[in-house]
Chains A and B, each alone.
Chain A
Amino acid sequence: MLTGHQTWIFPNRPVIRSSAAVGGPYEAKGPLADDFSLLHGDLWVGQDSYEKAERKMMEEACELAIREAGMEKADIQFFLAGDLLNQITPSCFAARTVGVPFLGLYGACSTAMESLALAAQLVDSGAAQRVLCGTASHNAAIEKQFRYPTEYGSQKPPTAQWTVTGAGVAVLTHDGEGPRVTSATIGRIVDMGLSDPFNMGAAMAPAAVDTITAHMRDRAISLHDYDLIATGDLGRVGHPIAVDLLKKHNIDMPYERFTDCGILIYHPDQPQVLAGGSGCGCSATVTYGHILRRMRQGELRKVLIIATGALLSPLSFQQKESIPCIAHAVSIEFA
């Protein structure tokens, strides 16, 4: 049900029946390692290419989530997924394995919440009863596509972020027990003219702020209702910028409960991650692993996840285009 300009309220409150997060070696060394369902010590995940490794992680996450929900693949009615690789091949190939009707999505790193919002809409509207949604990313596969070969010796600036190797998947159902998706705010593109692909946090921060304010306005609620508000992958550079932007616009929110998945997933002193995590897998694994675990344990009651995405391509930034950014927010409650 549309509320305000760009927010859906889900009166039937679709249930996140189960979720699974699969991670790679760097995530295993991070502070959230225990919240993953499965961790791989090897970046190759036993495959012969990084692209296949990403697909494998996506397939594993789907299988774990379906099994945890006590279902079979055939019980799933729709599968909504996307990732960062060209033509979203890891998602398509994983969909081939799952073998159910599939909708491919692309919202860069915001795909995690884009897929969850759409899955919730399908279930809430009665278009489906059991929907699988998720995303994946793989550090080396993304570096290969968007930047330089992984072993190439280029010096990254301190604003650069580290793409998360991982997959996060959830099963949404119309009934049952579990955290419930209550609303979703679909973001609009915000482009502040930044064009540095090594500084995506600063580029995406205004999109996150735009969606947060839209969510507040459309639902006419106070952000103090939330126990946790987490942006997707602004990192240690973009998140403080978002905080300052919100303060500048006099947005009343609990800043001590405002965090970022890209900051949470790694230790600050982990080598190479620089400004923190990014990628589709970042908000997906942190939400479906860490945040939902805390909700099920009763630590958190209401959370708002704002997944941010930078909609650039390797071609667009070489052609000196700026980076259009987007953010989608989903609120989850567990009574």
Chain B
Amino acid sequence: MSDMLKKKLSPVQQEYQDFAKQREPQRPVLRNVIWAFFVGGTICLFGQLIQDFFLWNFDFTEKTAGNPAVAILILLSVLATAFGVYDHLAQHAGAGTAVPVTGFANSIASAALEHRSEGFVLGVGGNMFKLAGSVIVFGVVAAFVVALIKILLGGT
């Protein structure tokens, strides 16, 4: 897409874009990757500890202990969003806070908070999946395609 756009640029535009590009600070990729790795890893480790806690202390199996663990992570993420902490952490952590389930919870909670001023139905209800909606849509589509392949290959 960006190549297609580039082709339509006039020589003056192209020259300026190259000129500006040399003067723009680049994203600190290495630092971002390290932050994402450790923050994302810490969130997952914490999730694992919660899961083990349920496994050892209550009547859960390895499969079912995941559910309350995810619920607790979501609750903590929504609280962090509401107290205005999550976005500050995310500026450093990037994908580290976006990829785990906490990022999904943050996208829904932040949109719900943001549109509270337009009322519960049209505001919160109508907008809370503004960001998360596409994740759900393409998640379901991807799951459908994978399931289709599995059936065609004769799996059960």
Residues of A within 8 A of B (CB): 48-51, 144, 148-159, 191-195, 199, 202, 205-206, 237, 240-241, 244-245, 248, 271-272, 275, 320
Main DSSP-derived SS at the B contact region: helix
In the complex, the 3 A-B pairs of residues with the closest C-beta atoms, listed nearest first: A153-B90, A149-B114, A49-B117
CA distance A49 to B117 in the complex (A): 6
Whole-angstrom distance from the CB of B43 to the nearest CB of chain A?
Answer: 12
A155 in contact with B81 (CB, 8 Å): no
Let me know if B16 is at the binding interface, CB within 8 A.
yes
Interface string of B1-41 (1 = CB under 8 A from A): 10001001110111011011001111110001000000000
Whole-angstrom distance from the CB of A250 to the nearest CB of chain B?
Answer: 15
How many chain-B residues does the 8 Å CB contact rule pick out? 46
Residues of B within 8 A of A193 (CB): 5, 8-10, 13-14, 16-17
B94 in contact with A155 (CB, 8 Å): yes
Starting from the known contacts A199-B24, A241-B19, 13 additional A-B residue pairs (CB-CB under 8 Å) come to: A51-B117, A149-B111, A149-B130, A151-B82, A151-B113, A152-B111, A153-B97, A155-B91, A155-B92, A206-B16, A237-B23, A244-B23, A272-B88
Whole-angstrom distance from the CB of B35 to the nearest CB of chain A?
Answer: 9
CB contact under 8 A between A153 and B17, given known A51-B117, A241-B23: no
Interface string of B102-142 (1 = CB under 8 A from A): 01001101110111010000000000001100000000000
Let me know if B68 is at the binding interface, CB within 8 A.
no
CA distance A150 to B111 in the complex (A): 8
CA distance A171 to B26 in the complex (A): 43
Residues of A within 8 A of B92 (CB): 155
* Chain A residue at minimal CB-CB distance from B116: A49
* Chain B residue at minimal CB-CB distance from A206: B16
Residues of B within 8 A of A51 (CB): 117
Residues of B within 8 A of A192 (CB): 12-13, 16-17, 20
* Chain B residue at minimal CB-CB distance from A47: B117
B114 in contact with A150 (CB, 8 Å): yes
CB contact under 8 A between A159 and B24, given known A153-B86, A192-B13: yes
Let me know if B89 is at the binding interface, CB within 8 A.
yes
Partner of B27, one of A157, A205, A275: A157
Residues of A within 8 A of B13 (CB): 191-193
* Chain B residue at minimal CB-CB distance from A236: B25
CA distance A241 to B86 in the complex (A): 33
B16 in contact with A195 (CB, 8 Å): no
Partner of B5, one of A152, A240, A320: A320
A156 in contact with B91 (CB, 8 Å): yes
Residues of B within 8 A of A150 (CB): 87, 110, 114
A151 in contact with B5 (CB, 8 Å): no
CA distance A36 to B84 in the complex (A): 26
Residues of A within 8 A of B32 (CB): 155
Residues of B within 8 A of A205 (CB): 20
CA distance A330 to B5 in the complex (A): 35
Residues of B within 8 A of A240 (CB): 23
